Amino acid sequence: MITKEVIKAEIDKIQDQYLTTLYRIIKAFEDIPASHRDQDIQNSEMPKDENEERKEWLSFIRSTYGSLSDDPIERGDQGEFEIRETIH
């Protein structure tokens, strides 16, 4: 869950040159009706950092590793292709 503390911690990372823009964005939310703000928050997804994505990927690999060992994938015969006229 996103809390004010989490947002405040992220704000501390913002470069000073962007503070005016960030302030305007925050002030713009005051003009949005509460019903719309709640809907936007519910529909939004918190971005994942690369480390979290990597952990999820490794977890997926671990959970699927060896899942086909009882039924290995085999390539069938190549088959025959008809010989066609050469293009000039």
Every domain of the chain and the residues it spans: 4-62
Angstrom CA distances, 17 to 13, 20, 23, 42, 44, stand at 12, 7, 11, 30, 26
Q: Answer whether residue 7 shows pLDDT above 70.
A: yes
Distance from C-alpha of 11 to C-alpha of 23, rounded to nearest angstrom? 10
pLDDT tens profile 10-40: 899 989 998 888 888 888 877 777 666 555 5
Cβ contact 25:18 at 8 Å:
no
pLDDT tens profile 59-73: 888 888 887 778 878
The pLDDT, as a whole number, for residue 34 is: 66
Q: Which helix (H) or strand (E) holds 8?
A: helix 4-11
The pLDDT, as a whole number, for residue 44 is: 54
